[in-house]
Structure 1
């Protein structure tokens, strides 16, 4: 027992934060890998004119993630964040390999791959819900934005990794290229599994289960000041005591009672807007977007995803630098406004200058990606991780993740269909309008959370609910 205790004490805070956020690599890799695999898959299975089938193959992971996020969020309240992250890594490994060995059975191959990628999506959705919750519960309030932003850095690093892998494998025979691209996703999943084996459980989860001694030990790994540990434990215990005194049984309906409704709508709304703004249309289909704009074959445009990936990684690092220097709401509103204009301006320019260079839209897409990378991309997951009260955090994080994936799935599914029936500029203009609506939503419905403890954020939401109850006309 003493040997185990000594081994546990060797776990550094850097190790905890690195592998606590490493699940984002899986999330990012599978977002990005189909970008390069799709042109080869289309050629190998003769799907060039099957827009709906291409949409389903691309979006199948997101469809599975809708359910994976909700299921993992609920189970993590019962079994813990750490155990569910381990389970997600196993599921990801298995179905990544099965994707790479898809049998060649004509049209049936596409349906096999769709089903396998849906099951793979369970793990991707679980990671998207569990990692922000785990990181927010481990990080101190003053650094929570920056440390939770590690999740976004991992996500975009996973995307960039997949783009580079796609580029390096593009000269292989078509069938081998896309199979290796999809199958190699099992490698980061294995690394995650091995790393998380040494991670401790979240102190808030441990305390909720009555294990104060272990919760204190975990906090000692990541908090240097004993007084800070005592204060944080006392704050968490007080919140848990109030919940027990109320004899509250958490259910899905609990999320929308007067006490929690405001914070749940804010968190879920931001998560949904992030995807309906159209970012993943760029990430999934940028080679096809460039092909439609220039006429060049999509398989020869695999450098563009790398450009987008580099912008995303640099943006995530910029975010970590500014995360705790600017209010969350300010960054979301500024980012959303520029993103909306980046989608709408090409339509205006094309209307005023019919002979506009077709690559102009790609330039504006790069501007969109740059602002998305240090505003909506990381802040969505920071807010999801910190805005929900402890009593509902697992369920609410899962619900937010599911709405996020519903948006991602729909964008991935309908974008090739929309671009087949209308100009690309018009499609992006629709996304631009949604970006502006997102800015309005943040302005009117989202509270500021920077610098507040999780318990202070919960109190803020509770007070808002009381005000609404006493002033129903508001």
Structure 2
């Protein structure tokens, strides 16, 4: 069923931004960027603070901006941050005093972007897009695939950093982000401003996929 693919896709896409892996291993990323161990520990506070602020803003945006617009904007911002982190890591070699602070700023912007525009929006979408008769099962399946991907990323993220470095790892995430944008633009329907009953009817008839606000 197409709508189940949509649910699985946005759930996996959320995890493939690398947000949880970056939060799990933020200290390692910051150490790799040039911070001392203690400096990375202190600097790691910044992504946590911006995550809370972004979540609060994201809750307010749900009533004001279309879901598809929010997802497209969110993935555009996170993908841009991925590429900027990768480029900054290349242009600012190890030992450059600006390197750790530039990468920290970009990681903070990345976390703020995903918390503001993606994390809440994706959970709202999962709650809205499925017909009632499959909603519980479909949400469970979508979240299952998302957290399986999260577990794999969490397991292999240190190996990615070791093998590819910061630049290679973030270029990889950026490429995945481009694919996520294509998926959202071509597959994800708009649900804001519609009742659950009208969404269910649209999904059942296929009419919901013709509305691209």
What TM-score results when the alignment is normalised by the length of structure 2?
0.89
Q: 1:307 to 1:466 in 2, by over 3 A?
A: closer
Q: Distance in 1 between matches of 2:208 and 2:35?
A: 58
- The answer for unaligned runs of 5 or more in structure 1 is 1-260, 469-474
Any idea what the Cα deviations from partners look like across 1:121-154, whole Å, max 9, x if unmatched?
A: xxxxxxxxxxxxxxxxxxxxxxxxxxxxxxxxxx
What does the per-residue CA deviation read over 1:27-76, in whole Å, with 9 as the maximum and x for residues that have no partner? xxxxxxxxxxxxxxxxxxxxxxxxxxxxxxxxxxxxxxxxxxxxxxxxxx
2:83 paired residue number: 344
Tell me whether 1:307 sits opposite 2:85 in the alignment: no
Rg (Cα) greater in structure = 1
**CA–CA distance in structure 2, aligned partners of residues 345 and 270 of structure 1:** 23
Give the counterpart of 1:281 among 21, 29, 32. Answer: 21
Deviation, structure 1 residue 367:
0.9
> Structure 1: how far apart are the matches of 2:35 and 2:110?
23
Do structure 1's residue 323 and structure 2's residue 65 form an aligned pair?
no
Find out whether 1:378 has 2:117 as its counterpart: no
1:432 equivalent to 2:174? Answer yes
Return the offset for 1:304. Answer: 3.2
Aligned length: 207
Counterpart residue number, 1:459: 201
Q: Which one scores higher on RCO, CA 8 angstroms, separation ≥ 6?
A: 2
| Alpha-carbon distance in structure 1 between the residues aligned to 2:18 and 2:197 | 33
**What is aligned with 2:8?**
268
> Aligned with 1:447: secondary structure?
coil
Contact conserved, 1:361 with 1:425, CA < 8 A, in 2?
no
Partner residue in 1 for 2:111: 369
Structure 1 residue 425, shift from structure 2 partner: 1.7
Q: How far apart are 1:262 and its partner, in Å? A: 2.2
Distance 1:390 1:288, change over 3 A: same
Mapping 1:438-457, distance limit 5 Å: 438-457=180-199
Q: Contact between 2:187 and 2:209, CA under 8 Å: does it hold in 1?
A: no
- Hey, what's the Cα distance between the residues in 2 that align with 1:294 and 1:350? 10
How far apart, CA to CA, are the structure 2 residues paired with 1:361 and 1:467?
Answer: 39
CA drift of 1:302 comes to 3.0
1:407 aligns with 2:115: no
Question: Shift in Å at residue 346 of structure 1?
Answer: 3.0
Residues 90, 167 of structure 2: 8 Å contact kept: no
- If the length of structure 1 is used for normalisation, what is the TM-score? 0.41
Q: Which residue of 2 aligns with 1:131?
A: none
- Asked if 2 retains the 8 angstrom alpha-carbon contact of 1:266 and 1:445, the reply is yes
Query: What is the correspondence of 1:123-202 to structure 2 with a 5 Å cutoff?
Result: none
Please, what is the CA RMSD of the aligned residues? Answer: 2.1
Equivalence for 2:99? 358
The equivalent of 1:161 in structure 2 is none
Q: Secondary structure at the match of 1:423?
A: helix
Q: What's the offset of the Cα at 1:354?
A: 4.5
The equivalent of 2:161 in structure 1 is 419
Offset from partner CA, 1:64-114 (integer Å, 9 cap, x none): xxxxxxxxxxxxxxxxxxxxxxxxxxxxxxxxxxxxxxxxxxxxxxxxxxx
* Kept in 2: contact 1:286–1:304 (CA 8 A): no
1:334 is aligned, of 62, 73, 84, to: 73
What CA deviation, in whole Å up to 9, does each residue of 1:151-173 have, x standing for no partner?
xxxxxxxxxxxxxxxxxxxxxxx
Cα shift at 1:439: 1.2
Q: How far apart in 2 are the matches of 1:262 and 1:465?
A: 12
Q: Displacement, 1:452?
A: 1.1
Q: How many angstroms apart in 2 are the aligned matches of 1:453 and 1:400?
A: 22
Matched, 1:291 2:31: yes
For the 8 Å contact 1:262–1:465, the answer to whether it is kept is no
Report the CA distance shift for 1:425/1:456 in structure 2 as closer, same or farther (over 3 A). same
